[in-house]
């Protein structure tokens, strides 16, 4: 397979893991671990794993002038990205948060045009709009809005999360062009750990480990190893070969995979609306990822 094919598969795996994680993380929070405490666990675990595997990578030294970019990637890709999403979700309804999140590819497209001077092609715009429509249709159909204690603030925080992740995809692209992923990702998470520590420390101290069932412990491990560690590695692999706008559009697949996973557990049913949504999403991803011949 070509490097581009591997990059597309890596981006697909990120969406698959995230889609499964929505159901798994819901078992853990907030009964066993509160959101900010869970984020601190994720970042601590991922930081340790990245430092361990970094010794298997090439021996490269990061130039001092690149550390501000790494700190910015940590700020937008780890700290703000995770903290605003979990906090926003606690204020607004899951459906509102999900709809706002899938605006990320559009934000990336706009920011790439402004910052990276990337040309916006009509086919790519069509693909993004099709994916957005399909995802919104899938999320909205048959779902109740639910309770929202402060929907305006919650929606704003989730939107900040979407903008933050979009900025991260653009910032980290320059690092990918210069270094091997193992060289700098450990530093991204080290800086990110320092940033989330003040927010998650108190909640992490409240965790009653002795009362957590073994199944929940396995699910915590899944979120740390797969949802945090592996997804960032896969994202970096995909970023080496693909444009930020292409990587971002795979976010549309997350609710689709989440629905399939829920159906496999008997928590959802297949309907014509879900089939139509799936078709729109895959067509949108195809149009955005299609390479010009």
- CA 222 – CA 240 distance, rounded (Å): 25
Separation in Å, CA 121 to CA 130, 224, 292: 14, 37, 11
Rg of the chain on CA atoms, in Å: 19
239-263 confidence digits (pLDDT tens): 777 777 777 777 777 767 776 776 6
pLDDT tens digits, 40-84:
999 999 999 999 988 877 788 889 999 999 999 999 999 998 888
The per-residue pLDDT for 114 is: 77
Give the span between the Cα atoms of 183 and 151, in whole angstroms: 40
Confidence at residue 130, expressed as pLDDT on a 0 to 100 scale:
83
Long-range CB pairs of 22-26 (<8 Å, 24+ gap) are: 22/254, 22/258, 23/258, 23/261, 23/262, 23/265, 23/267, 24/219, 24/222, 24/223, 24/227, 25/219, 25/223, 25/227
- As a whole number of Å, the end-to-end CA separation of the chain is 18
Characterize 176-188 residue by residue with b for buried, 16 or more Cβ atoms within 10 angstroms of its Cβ, and e for exposed.
beebbbbbbbbbb
CA distance 69 to 62: 11
Question: Tens of pLDDT along the chain (293 residues)?
Answer: 788 888 888 888 888 887 787 677 777 877 888 889 999 999 999 999 999 988 877 788 889 999 999 999 999 999 998 888 877 766 765 555 666 666 677 777 777 777 767 677 788 788 878 877 876 776 666 454 444 566 677 778 878 888 898 888 888 878 887 888 788 889 999 999 999 999 999 999 999 999 999 999 999 999 899 988 888 888 877 877 777 777 777 777 776 777 677 667 765 566 677 677 767 877 877 777 676 65
What pLDDT does 268 receive? Answer: 56
Is residue 287 a contact partner of residue 130, using CB atoms and an 8 Å limit? yes
Q: What tokens does 293 get?
A: 């011949």
CA angle 159-160-163, nearest 5°? Answer: 90
The predicted pLDDT at position 144 comes to 43
């Amino acid at each position: 397979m070509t490097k581009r094919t591997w990059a597309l598969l890596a981006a697909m795996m990120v969406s698959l893991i995230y889609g499964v994680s929505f159901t798994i993380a819901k078992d853990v929070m907030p009964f066993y671990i509160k959101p900010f405490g869970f984020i601190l666990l994720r970042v601590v675990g991922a930081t340790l794993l990245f430092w361990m595997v970094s010794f298997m990578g090439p021996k490269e030294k990061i130039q001092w002038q690149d550390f501000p970019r790494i700190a910015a990637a940590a700020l937008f890709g780890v700290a703000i990205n995770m903290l605003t999403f979990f906090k926003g979700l606690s204020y607004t309804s899951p459906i509102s948060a999900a709809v706002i999140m899938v605006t990320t590819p559009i934000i990336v497209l706009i920011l790439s045009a402004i910052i990276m001077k990337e040309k916006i092609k009509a086919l790519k715009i069509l693909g993004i709009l099709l994916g957005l429509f399909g995802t919104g249709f899938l999320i909205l159909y048959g779902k109740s809005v639910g309770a929202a204690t402060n929907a305006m603030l919650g929606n704003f925080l989730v939107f900040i999360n979407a903008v933050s992740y979009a900025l991260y995809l653009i910032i980290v692209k320059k690092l990918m062009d210069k270094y091997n992923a193992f060289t700098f990702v450990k530093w991204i998470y080290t800086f990110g750990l320092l940033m989330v520590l003040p927010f998650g420390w108190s909640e992490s101290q409240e965790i009653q480990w002795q009362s957590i069932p073994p199944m929940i412990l396995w699910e915590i491990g899944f979120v740390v190893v797969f949802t945090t560690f592996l997804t960032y590695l896969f994202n970096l692999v995909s970023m080496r070969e693909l444009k930020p706008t292409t990587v971002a559009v795979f976010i549309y697949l997350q609710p689709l995979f989440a629905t399939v996973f829920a159906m496999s557990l008997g928590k959802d049913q297949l309907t014509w609306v879900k089939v139509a949504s799936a078709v729109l999403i895959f067509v949108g991803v195809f149009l955005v990822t299609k390479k010009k011949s």
